[in-house]
Structure 1
Amino acid sequence: MTKPIASRLREAALQLPPKLASAARYVADHPFDAASMPMRALARQTGEPPTTFTRLARALGFQGWEALRTELIDDARIDLEAAREAPFSSRPLLPSGEGTLAGRMFSTDIHNLAELDATVLDAAAAVIEQAGRVFVSGYRSCYAPAVHFHYLYRLFRNEVALVGAAGGMLDLELGAIGKGDVVVLFGFAPYSRDGFLTAQTATAAGAALIAIVDRADSPLAQGAAVTLIFNPDSPGYFPSLSACTALIQALAVTLYLRSGAEGRDRLRASETRIAAHTAYLDTDTSR
């Protein structure tokens, strides 16, 4: 079986001349960037001339950079398949004598919440608030947290859009992403192909990517400006989104606090508009 291109690059770096070895290690450590960026953009990012990457590809037996880049893309697709876990239905039933399943789920959620890193929220908020437009995206089981974050942030900022909400038109929605925008992307293993495509599109378009994922080396987080990590582990049959929900609520509050008087005014305007539309039931029993 052919070795993954990243492994071949690392092995080759041990024998290549210094400049080619440096380029090989960079591509091996940043396969998503190398696969999704034009060669000239990759050269600018690394400070190497484009010819370095052409020479690197040929040193590994490829006709040119595009052939090596194609293999990087193919390996990324294989990685997505390898990340697929066993079906939830194949997980064993709870053994007797270990307490209730619900109780273990609650305990695991508490542990997952304690693992969250609040120190990265300001860094993520700084990137998001500087963007001209904010695109929020999550697929399948991650659609719910994407909708939740979109709703919260939209209450006090207008330039927020939910990507993937319209059936069959993802290509058009992704086509709107451009330089100066930010994409907030949710995902955990097994990763959605649409999520991987969204991450690729964001970085290729020059948009900043905020990845809210289950691990730092997630394929959805490659090239991200900031990565927020949550643990979806659960003793139940389905992954838990409790930590993810807590994380995005904290991110929304962080953004609101940083928005100052302008954010408060926009939130008040949203509340007034919602009240005018009588969106909520009147539960005041004092009248």
Structure 2
Amino acid sequence: MGYNGPASSITLEETRVPEQDFRDQAAPMEAPAGLDAVNQQLAEIYPDLSPQLKVAAGYVLEHSVEIALQSIRKTAAAAEVTPSTLMRLAKRLGFESYEQFREVFQAAVQAGPVELSGRASQLRTLASQTDDQVFLDVGDAAFDNIGRLFTADNQARVRQAAQRILAAEKVAVVGFRDTFACAYHFAYVGRIAMPNIQLVRGLEGGLLTELAAFGERDVVVLFGFEPYCAETMRALEIARAAGVSPIVITDTMRSPLVPGAEITFTVANATPHFFPSILSAITLIEAILAECVAFGPDDLVGNVARFESLMREMGAYVEYE
């Protein structure tokens, strides 16, 4: 670097490079080919990003539709960062330009369903014609959450998860507090067809004991939304240490449950309600278990038939005409 003036004209502040610049200037990687790969790489590099890039990455991970449809300036304003920050993030991921980066999101949105978004738009119209805003806002959020679930990337991932579950000797299911209903639903419905599925309850300090029976040939399905439960994190640590393959269902790629997961699903859980919505997670469970039965061995169908027959013999169902 050349010398362009007397030393007295250069202040210490002018020569100091902000700490975040060193992190921003990390060597770029090869540009990921799809939205799935973009999200995975963002999750991996997120802890090492500068504060501003973390803000931008957090917005990108949670607003894929907006990234696809909005201009860089509108996206920057919504994310509360500068357009140059978004460009730096795109280049950090290996893209030559922000437009190239945005094309990945546009392709994913175009591959998604349109019917559900149309219904959500109808709810918006209805909401303007009535004073029952809360009821319609809940419906609007529900349609939007489900619409974000049924994408081409998730379709492939559901098939992968089903294959992994079918190949496992045993399947542990973990979810505490707000996601216990998800874990229970997965275990209850799944066991009808696949008796090797076990709900992990962790009662009275028994988490370690329950998970001790699982190893390298097994799978653990974990549910966790923010705020993330310490018990769920502990269960994941125990499972990883034993070589169990984790399938994680969470709310964002920034979730602490993501690192080390073999398969990760992020489900939208936005709602006007005070508690996170589990609608998308329950729908995802139904999709995964349906894939298991559809592509699994004939024994699974037989298991379902035997379960139903046994329940009727035991008088578990009310008979009526």
TM range (shorter): 0.5 to 0.7
Uncovered stretches (5+) of structure 2, i.e. residues with no partner = 1-18, 28-43, 48-129
1:107 has 2:144 as partner: no
Q: Hey, what's the Cα distance between the residues in 1 that align with 2:315 and 2:217? A: 36
Residue 156 of structure 1 is matched in structure 2 by 193
Separation of aligned partners in 1, 2:162 and 2:255 = 21
1:174 and 1:141 map into 2 onto residues whose CA distance is: 21
Give the match for residue 265 of structure 1.
302
Question: How many Å separate the matches in 1 of 2:305 and 2:26?
Answer: 61
The verdict on how the C-alpha distance between 1:278 and 1:166 changes in structure 2, with shifts beyond 3 A counting, is farther
Residues 30 and 182 (structure 1), Cα distance of their counterparts in 2 relative to 1, 3 Å cut:
farther
Q: How does 1:1-287 map to 2 (within 5 A)?
A: 29=45, 99-116=132-149, 117-164=154-201, 166-282=203-319, 284-285=320-321
Residues of 1 paired with 2:207 and 2:185: CA distance?
Answer: 19
Tell me the TM-score normalized by structure 1: 0.64
Structure 1 runs (4+) greater than 4 angstroms displaced: 28-31
Give yes or no for contact 2:208–2:238 (8 Å, CA) kept in 1.
Answer: no
Residues 169-212 of structure 1, C-alpha deviations (whole Å, 9 max, x = no match) = 11211222211110000011110001111111111111100001
- Alpha-carbon separation, structure 2, partners of 1:124 and 1:229: 13
Larger Rg belongs to: 2
TM-score in terms of structure 2 length: 0.58
Deviations 1:239-273 (A, max 9, x none): 11111111111111111111131111111111122
Instruction: State the Cα distance separating 1:214 from its structure 2 match.
Output: 0.7
What SS class does the counterpart of residue 253 from structure 1 fall into?
helix
Query: What secondary structure is seen at the aligned counterpart in 2 of 1:109?
Result: helix
Taking CA–CA contacts closer than 8 Å with sequence separation of 6 or more, which of the two structures ends up with the larger relative contact order? 1
Alpha-carbon distance in structure 2 between the residues aligned to 1:169 and 1:279: 30
Cα distance in 2 for partners of 1:233, 1:254 equals 26
Deviation at 1:152, TM superposition (A): 1.1
Count of residue pairs the alignment pairs up: 200
